[in-house]
Amino acid sequence: MKILVLIAFLLIFLSLGSALVYMMKDKGKSNRTVKALAFRVGFSILLFCFILIANYFGLIQPTGIH
């Protein structure tokens, strides 16, 4: 589970980085930045839902704040 979440976070950060590169390279002339940011938002929502479902089915356990 930790590896899946780590891979998801890496994909989210890579998408954010690619949006930055597209924003600097295209100077607003294409919609690649919007597509990269939309992918990031969608993937973040998907990750959040995955964590909720994994918690519900007991695949991950909350540790609480110590």
Angle (deg, nearest 10), helices 2-26 and 32-56: 170
Q: For residue 44, what pLDDT is reported?
A: 93
Q: What is the pTM for the complete model shown?
A: 0.76
Distances (CA, A) of 15 to 52, 56, 59, 65, 66: 23, 28, 27, 30, 33
Series of mean pLDDT values for 10-residue runs along the chain (66 residues): 88 90 84 88 93 90 76
